[in-house]
Structure 1
Amino acid sequence: MNVETLFPVIGGATAVVGLTLWLRHCLREEVRWDYRQQAHLLILFLPVFIAGLVCWHLLEDGYLDGSHGWLTPSTALLNSVPFWFLIFTAVLNLVGSVGYAARHWYFARQLWGCSRVDTSAARVQLAVDGLARLAKVDPPPVRRLLTRKPLAVVTGFHRPVLYLSSWYFELSEAELASVLAHELAHIARRDNLTAAWATGSLLGCFYWPAGWQAFEQLMQERELAADELAAGLTGKPLRLAKVLIKADEAHRTVEAPVACRFEAQGSIEKRVEQLIYLHQRPLARSVMPFWQTAAVWLTVGFAAVLAADLIPHWLDTLQ
């Protein structure tokens, strides 16, 4: 490996490790779910982004004499390792995201086929409309699943649909409201879309152990975040905790598909503990504003470009 190749590879590896360690250090003290979500997504995205920068830098060094510009297709370019690694990473990201979306669509079609809209669903729709105004989201249509297993799930990315099994219609209005608030929280947080993007990034950085850990934590913490937002909408966190315990007891008698479970991701114990804590000490956690999210991503992205591309180019000029 020559010096021209060594500089961007070392710079990119340093950027990935350094920024990941910094983000994980920030996560130790961070309790705001929106901020934690952005940190997990960055840990997943950075290896993919920086690997692409390094490959592009190597291609510029090999075919543009180290200057910036667009590459012209050629036989030598198509036979280069950086080119195919770049294509391979992009394909993995696309396959991961599209694959998740396809599985989600298939699951939604199955739920649609075993559900219907009746008078019970129409009554619940009124409650959903009211809570949706509080959550500042468009109210999803409600469909009743033809099963007595405790299943509650939101499907869809742009126009979500809320499915509730008959088990939930036997709850009190206050308990049902807590369940509806939880599902609306997933819509407000765009959790399905986030999961699709995170799955694509995970495949793209399959070689990065921190990415797998970040993905697992992201999937678990989205349930805790939805619980907290639901508690804020209803003002009754203990009611949601009560429903979680009831649903868990019902699942112990009749096993349901994991993908359909109301408590699908995240530990029941952790969720109940958080809801009890919210009852004892209500928190007013701030939502991460868009400008701050954009600033964080731009800053981290610039640091990655600096370490993986700009500094190596500058070092090349000193040779």
Structure 2
Amino acid sequence: MIMTQALGWALVDSLWQDALAAAGLAALLALVPVRAARTRYALATLTLAVMLALPLATAVRVRETAPLMSEVVTATSPVAPGPTSSPGPQAVPTPPTPPPGPVAARIRAALEPALPWVVLVWFGGVVALSLRLASGWLVTRQLGRVGTSSVPDACREAVARLATRLRVTRPVRVLESAVVQVPAVIGWLRPVILLPASALTGLTPLQLDALLAHELAHVRRYDYLVNVIQSVIETLLFYHPAVWWVSQQVREEREHCCDDLAVAVCGDAHFYATALLGMERLRAATPAFALAAAGRGGSLRDRIRRLVAPVQTEIFPRWMAGVLAVTLALGAGAHLVSGTAATGDGGGMRAAIDSATVDSLIGRVEALRNPEVRHAAVKTLGSRRDPRMVPPLLAIAQHDGDEEVQHEAVKALGKVRGGAGVGALLEIARTHPNPDVRRKAVKTVGDVAPPEAALGVLERLAQRDPDAHVQQEAVEALGHLGSPQAIAPLARLARAQPNAEVRDEAVEQYAKSAAPESALVLLVDRLANDSSSVVQVEAVERLADLPDGLGIPALRAAARAHPSRQVRAEARRRLEEDR
């Protein structure tokens, strides 16, 4: 069932993913000159590999989150009054009808019940095309065994000479065949070039050399192996027209690459074109896996035109293709950044969570091995802002093995409706062993908690937490509460906290929160009596910021007579700025 769900979503998502990849290739091919066959071939081959990798990645991601989705579905599905049976493949459990939400989420929820049928149709197509592929492979293997005989010594010598020039290091056999109608190469580990009797008798030795060079170019480039892999990809992605188009580009550019190597050997593109035309007179159907000089890689007319036609000035503005390529890349990147939930939550988890019982979700999230997938699952749990999510989010924040997942759980607790997550945040802030997670919880408390719930805890953390950064964060959170009740704790911290950096933060927050007259009293006291020049300089800065020049007399006194040179200099600088 999990595999059915993963395969189904991989097939559905591949429709747009592979279409986008093909559109990107089309834009890039418009940028690259026709004569740059190797570059064009590399782009087309890479695109074909990406088109296979994208659905595989989707399947892996969905499979990682499927246990969580399955648990949610089990928890929310009503008990049927009796056993039911239905024809066809086993259905993926359907989540309860979701409330109104994003259009994409509703579409995916509607598609979920059809996934088993999608997989069944795909599997049937793969089986049928695999049988066809296997029969083609068997026919190709027979070509090297049936109706073959030795070629003249002159032909073998020509192959050896051309192989040396093309730097082909593997031994290559050459045989005359009564079956094939055009020269063809079969095999990868032990490649064989098959020559029809008509080629040996109907072509001049130089023309035959040109065509042999083309076949040896296939051997040098391992094209037979690539062609087999390409055929497998075509079989797996048979349902997508873009895959067949990209595969055709691979075949065309492969032939262009071999044409270029053959021309480099024989030295004359026009002569090589005449050899291709001569071979066309003998052409017939070529087996699926065989690679032929006059064979399946695009129109012979286009190949000859590319070889002999003069280079024309491009009428198409290539910068437009570049803009298109960049636009497609940015679009793909934006989707990958924003669309994690589309493939990472099983397509219906958001809807199912709305009415789920959450006790068992904790173990399911922790069971996900990939931290990125756990992160996405926690984000999904928190996105509902449902108070029922507080217990699993608290447990995940306390016990998950990945700090980023813990941070995401803390963030989600801060978004729960009605401040229902504040108690859990305070618990994390008091007891979590990781100071960075405590600090994140403290910051979130300052942003969302009501003052009456947070004041006492934040002051204790500012005084007693073993980590100075958490203490500073607690002081800042007190200031962010925006409550008159926070002023007295800030004053106590500014005067009595042992850590100078924490006192510095308390002075800043007090000056921002208290009335100007009250702030003046505390700032003058800290300027005169604090033991740290860091806090004294902070007091100078805040005195300069008081409205209506309230702090100017104290600044003048500090500029004249303060015992710290650093403080005197800062006071003079602020006085000069205020002139």
TM-score after normalising by structure 1:
0.70
Q: Is the 8 A contact 2:52 2:233 kept in 1?
A: yes
Separation in structure 2 between the aligned mates of residue 304 and residue 143 of structure 1, nearest angstrom: 55
- Given the alignment, which residue of 98, 103, 114 partners 2:136? 103
1:224 partnered with 2:256: yes
Report the residue type matching 1:257 in the other structure.
Answer: A
- Greater relative contact order (Cα 8 A, min sep 6): structure 1 or 2? 1
**Counterpart residue number, 1:22:** 24
**Counterpart residue number, 2:200:** 169
Question: Shift of the alpha carbon at 1:174?
Answer: 2.0
Change in Cα spacing, 1:124 to 1:10, as seen in structure 2 (3 Å) is closer
Q: Is the 8 A contact 2:198 2:282 kept in 1?
A: no
Change in Cα spacing, 1:240 to 1:101, as seen in structure 2 (3 Å) is farther
Question: Shift of the alpha carbon at 1:204?
Answer: 1.9
Q: How many residues align?
A: 275
- Given the alignment, which residue of 158, 161, 167 partners 1:130? 161
Question: Shift of the alpha carbon at 1:34?
Answer: 2.8
Q: Secondary structure at the match of 1:143?
A: strand
1:52 partnered with 2:56: yes
Separation in structure 1 between the aligned mates of residue 222 and residue 130 of structure 2, nearest angstrom: 15
- Given the alignment, which residue of 263, 266, 273 partners 1:241? 273
Q: Is the 8 A contact 1:50 1:304 kept in 2?
A: no
Task: Give per-residue Cα distances to partners, 1:220-247, cap 9 Å, x unaligned.
Answer: 3322221111111221222221112222
- Given the alignment, which residue of 120, 129, 151 partners 2:182? 151
Separation in structure 1 between the aligned mates of residue 52 and residue 274 of structure 2, nearest angstrom: 42
Q: Secondary structure at the match of 1:59?
A: helix
1:37 partnered with 2:41: yes
Q: Is the 8 A contact 1:48 1:89 kept in 2?
A: no
Task: Give per-residue Cα distances to partners, 1:113-156, cap 9 Å, x unaligned.
Answer: 111114x1x22111111211222212411111247x85211111
- Further displaced range: 100-109 or 25-34: 100-109
Question: Shift of the alpha carbon at 1:37?
Answer: 2.5
Task: Give per-residue Cα distances to partners, 1:14-45, cap 9 Å, x unaligned.
Answer: 65444432222111122332332233334333
Which structure is larger by alpha-carbon Rg, 1 or 2? 2
**Counterpart residue number, 2:229:** 197
- Given the alignment, which residue of 367, 372, 378 partners 1:317? 378
> Aligned-residue CA RMSD in angstroms?
4.0
Q: Is the 8 A contact 1:96 1:203 kept in 2?
A: yes
Percent identity between matched residues is 21
1:180 partnered with 2:212: yes
Separation in structure 2 between the aligned mates of residue 55 and residue 23 of structure 1, nearest angstrom: 24
- Further displaced range: 168-177 or 128-137: 168-177
Q: Secondary structure at the match of 1:112?
A: coil
TM-score after normalising by structure 2:
0.41
Alignment of 1:231-270 (within 5 A): 231-251=263-283, 256-259=284-287, 262-265=293-296, 266-270=298-302
Q: Structure 2 unaligned runs (5+)?
A: 1-5, 71-89, 93-111, 312-328, 345-372, 384-579
Change in Cα spacing, 1:216 to 1:62, as seen in structure 2 (3 Å) is same
